[in-house]
A and B are shown apart, each in its own frame.
Chain A
Amino acid sequence: MIKLPETIEEVVVKLLRIANTRLPSDIGWALEASAGWETNEIAYSQLGCIMDNIKKAEYLGKPMCQDTGIPVFYVSGKFDSSIARSIECGVRRATQTIPLRPNTVDPLTRRNAGDNLGAGMPIIHYRPTNDEFTEITVLPKGAGSENMTKLKMLDPADGITGVKKFIVDSVLDAGGRPCPPTVVGVGIGGTADRCIEMAKEALLVPLDRSNDDPDLKQLEEELFVKLNASGLGPMGLGGDTTVLGVNIKKMCCHTASLPVAVNIGCWATRRATARIGKDGTVEYSQGDGQ
């Protein structure tokens, strides 16, 4: 029997299924490590409930969280403009078959069409390259964490001290709302819009991959220790586990600017990537999609 290549629509359905039902292994390990050092009884019960839930979701093939989010797509490599339509079809089908919760509504009338589509949906970022393959990554982003997003255009004089304070305050002021223990995505530099995009892209970096930039690596480690010593704990109920990781990206900015953005990922920071080769073969992974 000849196996027909998967269509983009089928790839998208499968990506959404993988991302929503199976947590990337690096996040799972970070949760287990946290449970190992956690000393607060309530916090431990929350981590236990989360790990029980992850196992059941994977075993039953059900979304690990009812907020299956807004799917944010990152498309890179070789593609043409028809890919948007294929991704939309995949999202509609995944919403019915997995099923995903229909989350997208008109911002003012709040009308929900029930298919996770509508004006501007889903979000797709494009990065064409000269590669022969196409890579599609999906990051299902829930609202509990997304609603805690912060951007601040600091004064350059605020410097690294100001940057650290803004990140710590953003995470601690969010309290239990973004479902800690969280992954903290940070963007430093760029313009306001690119700064926020970087913060979200930072959530795609696996927690076991160390930052190539030694200064950023040190900053990530320092903030990781500080945030976990804050006492906020899982779900904001107190404890030693507030964050699973801090991922920072930076780019240059205007000499008069120091933009910093924080985009938090809940403990269920979900992602999945498909690489579609020239011959139509598809490889799925849950590593870094960038």
Chain B
Amino acid sequence: MKVLQAPLSENDVRSLRLGEIVYISGPVITGRDEMHIRALEYAKDGKAVPSGINGSVLYHCGPIMKKDGDSWAVVAAGPTTSARMNSLEAEMISVFDIRAIIGKGGMSTETSETMKTTGCVYLAATGGAAVTLAEGLSSVVGVEWLDLGMPEAMWKFNANRLGPLVVAMDAEGNSLYEAVRRSLKR
């Protein structure tokens, strides 16, 4: 079992090969459409964003969370469709030095090119495997921007062997999705 320790360096991510199966431990944040939009707006207006976005492992995930007294517990946390963030991700990666994106379904060529330039990988989590993946996120650090609603808020976790994750878009511009798409038999 290959376990990557976050935060990840540029060298860490550039050494990952397409198709490799890995797990991640360390800080992981969630972000979907609304979190991307707000983070980029704040950056544009020169406003401070919550700590933990810069250099992060960003998980496209809107978890089910449950409040136990004063603290939050994770119930289910599988990936959401990454393509919805296609128009926002290249800028997000550039502005916040995102090192790894976890999601499902893959992202655009534009995103892939930015990943190649800055050093970032895309890790595919198994869509819908929300209970298995939540086991790797049992340590909840906190939440930001909860006014966006539970799915769209920015949740912070200290991951423990989150996975399995497939290196589906590497930091050299290669994409498993593109390879599969090109060889599809219709």
What residues of chain A have their CB less than 8 Å away from a CB belonging to chain B? 42, 45-46, 49-50, 52-53, 56-57, 60, 62-68, 99-103, 105, 110, 112, 114, 142-144, 147, 168-169, 172, 175-177, 179, 229-238, 266-268
If the complex has contacts A57-B131, A177-B105, A235-B127, are A42 and B181 also in contact, measured as CB distance less than 8 A?
no
Q: Are A56 and B132 in contact, with the CB atoms below 8 A?
A: yes
CB contacts under 8 Å to A, within B163-186, are 164, 166, 168, 176-177, 179-181, 183-186
For this complex, into which size category does the number of interface residues on chain B fall?
A: 35 or more
Q: Are B186 and A172 in contact, with the CB atoms below 8 A?
A: yes
Q: Are A102 and B150 in contact, with the CB atoms below 8 A?
A: yes
Q: Are B21 and A45 in contact, with the CB atoms below 8 A?
A: yes
- Nearest first, the 5 closest Cβ-Cβ pairs linking A and B are A112-B149, A179-B127, A66-B76, A53-B129, A49-B126
Q: Are A45 and B181 in contact, with the CB atoms below 8 A?
A: no
B104 at the interface (CB under 8 A from A): yes
* Cross-chain pairs A/B with CB under 8 angstroms, 22 sampled: A46-B166, A50-B129, A53-B131, A60-B131, A63-B76, A66-B75, A66-B134, A67-B128, A67-B130, A99-B66, A112-B150, A144-B81, A147-B81, A168-B186, A175-B106, A177-B81, A177-B83, A230-B186, A231-B183, A231-B185, A267-B128, A268-B128
Q: Are A172 and B131 in contact, with the CB atoms below 8 A?
A: no
Stretch from B1-9, B48-56, B57-65 contacting the other chain: B57-65
Chain B residues near A68 (CB-CB < 8 A) = 64
Chain A residues near B106 (CB-CB < 8 A) = 175-176, 236
Chain B residues near A172 (CB-CB < 8 A) = 184, 186
> How far does the Cβ of A194 sit from chain B's closest Cβ, in whole Å?
28
What residues of chain B have their CB less than 8 Å away from a CB belonging to chain A? 19, 21, 34, 61-64, 66, 75-78, 80-81, 83, 104-106, 124, 126-135, 149-152, 164, 166, 168, 176-177, 179-181, 183-186
Chain B residues near A46 (CB-CB < 8 A) = 126, 166
If the complex has contacts A53-B126, A172-B184, A176-B106, are A62 and B131 also in contact, measured as CB distance less than 8 A?
yes
Residue of B whose beta carbon sits closest to that of A233: B180
Q: Are A102 and B129 in contact, with the CB atoms below 8 A?
A: no
Q: Are A63 and B180 in contact, with the CB atoms below 8 A?
A: no
Chain B residues near A66 (CB-CB < 8 A) = 61-64, 75-78, 130, 134
**Other CB < 8 Å A-B pairs besides A60-B131, A65-B76, A65-B130, 16 of them?**
A49-B132, A62-B134, A63-B76, A66-B77, A67-B62, A101-B150, A112-B150, A143-B81, A144-B80, A169-B186, A175-B106, A236-B105, A237-B166, A237-B176, A266-B127, A267-B128
